[in-house]
């Protein structure tokens, strides 16, 4: 049985945000395909303190101070440099990697490549690496840093692009989540680049009717937005959804679940939102899987206000399978263009049209996304098959 060492910059035992979910599903699919997947999560325990999760290498113990450590938007980049350059962290990583004796390394995101590269230099016969990319990171981080007004944006983006080009060029194969990302990376390597879009898992929620978190009243009709604490999530919500709150009736709400709630809350004073309308917005923060299932099942509509960012949005796959009317931007359907014209999907690209679309779905003027067999193509077992095929090809 071939051994695959999956290296990820976060825990995957109890996945919460999109990257964790994708990495966990990838490992599970490879396990089911007959490989032995050894999971190596490397991260700061202070960033992911959930019980049941423990890093293989805890970056909190690093004493080497990386550049840009004080720019939180690129903490993942800085932490990857710390693992490669801090003596104790790298020694722990190299020892665990050698003990794993993998036939192949599956690197989730580019940040830990510096450590992987240094470890491979010490190996008598270094195994191949498959790089699993979730974005063209230099583009995604560039927009995030520009929006935040970070003075060192140009220098940081240049270093991230250098990192990306290096790992893409060195990898025996690359996995991306959208065709547009594949086009960029194919110009950087002659090795295979395959597209495996994000997906979702089948869920049964019929028994959850009327079960809601205590912050919500059963009589409310609500549009649901689920998003992690990723700056594009909060920016799209602020730009497209906030203005529409003024059109909501007393028994209507917009509900936000996930880390995006915290970023949205931080931005409220700057949005000039009248106090009268603030009660139309319910920010729940992170919720457990059961609460999230309840929120999804009882929602009137799903919102996907994504205005920038790379890759593909796994919340889009979840929204399509949930079956509620969807109000989205075209960017939110990046990678899911084949489903863009389904009944129940409304596109809106500015605050005025987004507000009107929200009003229409809450008024019942837009039907639900119909259950169709072709939506089964959005399940992880289908979307991640290109990863299995690429791994088999590289190992051959």
Contact assessment for residue 162 and residue 77, using Cβ atoms and an 8 Å cutoff: no
Residue 229's pLDDT is: 84
- pLDDT tens sequence for the chain (396 residues): 999 999 999 999 888 888 999 999 999 999 999 999 999 999 999 998 877 789 999 999 999 999 999 999 999 999 999 999 999 999 999 999 999 999 999 999 999 999 999 999 988 889 999 999 999 999 999 999 998 899 999 999 999 999 999 999 999 999 999 999 999 999 999 999 999 999 998 888 989 899 998 899 989 999 999 988 888 888 899 999 998 998 999 999 999 999 889 888 887 765 555 565 678 999 999 898 899 999 999 999 999 999 887 667 889 999 999 999 999 999 999 889 999 999 999 999 999 999 999 999 999 999 999 988 889 999 999 999 999 999 999 999
List the Cα angle 204/210/213 in 5-degree steps: 95
Greatest pairwise CA separation for the chain in angstroms: 68
- Distance between CA 106 and CA 167 in Å, rounded? 12
**In sequence order, what DSSP letters do the residues of 336-354 get, joined into one string?**
-GGGTTSTTEEE--SHHHH
For every residue of 242-267, which 3-state class applies, written as one string? HHHHHHCCCCEEEEEECCHHHHHHHH
- Which runs of consecutive H residues, i.e. helices, occur in 133-214? 137-148, 153-170, 179-186
Please state the φ and ψ torsions of residue 224, each to the nearest 5 degrees.
-110, 135
pLDDT digits (tens, 9 = 90+) for 183-212: 999 999 999 999 999 999 888 898 989 999
Q: Are strands 173-176 and 129-132 parallel, antiparallel or unpaired?
A: parallel
Q: Which residues contact 122 (CB under 8 A, 6 or more apart)?
A: 94
List the Cα angle 152/153/158 in 5-degree steps: 105
Contact assessment for residue 30 and residue 37, using Cβ atoms and an 8 Å cutoff: yes
Please state the φ and ψ torsions of residue 180, each to the nearest 5 degrees.
-60, -40
Residue 210, sorted as left (phi over 0), alpha (psi -120 to 50) or beta, turns out to be left
50 C-beta neighbours (distance < 10 Å), count: 12
Residue 50's pLDDT is: 78
Residue 48, sorted as left (phi over 0), alpha (psi -120 to 50) or beta, turns out to be beta
**Three-class DSSP category at 10:** coil
Residue 230's pLDDT is: 83
Domains detected in the chain: 3-199+380-395 (3.40.50.2000), 206-378 (3.40.50.2000)
Tokens 């999109």 found at: 18
- Look at residues 297, 314, 296 and name the one whose alpha carbon lies nearest to residue 306: 314
Residue 272's pLDDT is: 55
| Dihedral (CA of 123, 61, 41, 17) sign | negative
Residue 123's pLDDT is: 85
- Distance between CA 312 and CA 322 in Å, rounded? 18
Residue 275's pLDDT is: 60
**Three-class DSSP category at 379:** strand
State the number of CA atoms in the 13 A half-sphere of 43 facing the CB: 22
Q: Are strands 173-176 and 193-195 parallel, antiparallel or unpaired?
A: parallel
Residue 124's pLDDT is: 80
Helix (H) or strand (E) holding 94: helix 87-100
Residue 273's pLDDT is: 56
Q: Taking the model in full, what pTM does it have?
A: 0.90
- Distance between CA 133 and CA 274 in Å, rounded? 41
pLDDT digits (tens, 9 = 90+) for 5-38: 999 999 998 888 889 999 999 999 999 999 999 9
Residue 268's pLDDT is: 74
CA 255 to chain centre: 20
**Three-class DSSP category at 190:** coil
**Three-class DSSP category at 389:** helix
């Amino acid at each position: 049985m071939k051994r695959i060492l999956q290296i990820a910059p976060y825990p995957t035992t109890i996945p919460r945000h999109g990257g964790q979910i994708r990495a966990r599903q990838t490992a599970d699919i490879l396990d089911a395909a007959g490989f032995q997947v050894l999971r190596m999560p490397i991260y700061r325990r202070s960033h992911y303190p959930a019980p049941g999760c423990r890093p293989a290498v805890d970056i909190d113990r690093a004493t080497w101070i990386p550049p840009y450590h004080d720019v939180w938007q690129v903490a993942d980049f800085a932490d990857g440099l710390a693992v490669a350059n801090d003596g104790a962290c790298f020694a722990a990583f190299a020892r665990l990697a050698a003990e794993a004796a993998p036939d192949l390394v599956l690197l989730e995101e580019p940040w830990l490549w510096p450590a992987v590269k240094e470890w491979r230099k010490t190996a008598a016969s270094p195994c191949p690496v498959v790089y699993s990319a979730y974005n063209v990171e230099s583009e995604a981080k560039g927009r995030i840093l520009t929006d935040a007004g970070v003075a060192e944006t140009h220098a940081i983006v240049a270093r991230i692009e250098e990192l990306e080009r290096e790992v893409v060029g060195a990898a025996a194969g690359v996995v991306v989540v959208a065709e547009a990302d594949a086009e960029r990376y194919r110009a950087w390597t002659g090795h295979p680049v395959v597209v495996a879009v994000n997906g979702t898992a089948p869920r049964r929620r019929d028994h959850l009717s009327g079960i809601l978190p205590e912050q919500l009243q059963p009589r409310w009709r609500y549009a649901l937005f689920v998003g992690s604490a990723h700056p594009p999530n909060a920016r799209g919500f602020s730009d497209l959804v906030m203005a529409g709150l003024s059109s909501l009736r007393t028994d209507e709400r917009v509900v936000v679940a996930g880390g995006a709630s915290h970023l949205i809350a931080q931005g409220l004073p700057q949005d000039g939102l009248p106090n009268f309308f603030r009660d139309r917005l319910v920010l729940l923060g992170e919720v457990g899987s059961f609460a999230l299932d309840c929120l999804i099942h009882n929602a009137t509509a799903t919102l996907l206000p994504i205005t920038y960012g790379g890759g593909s949005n796994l919340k889009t796959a979840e929204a399509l399978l949930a079956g509620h009317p969807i109000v989205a931007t075209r960017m939110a359907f990046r990678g899911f263009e084949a489903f863009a014209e389904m009944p129940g999907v409304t596109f809106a690209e500015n605050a005025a049209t987004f507000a009107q679309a929200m009003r229409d779905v809450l008024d019942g003027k837009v039907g639900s996304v119909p259950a169709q067999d072709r939506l089964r193509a959005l399940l992880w077992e289908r979307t991640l098959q290109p990863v299995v095929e690429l791994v088999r090809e590289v190992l051959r």
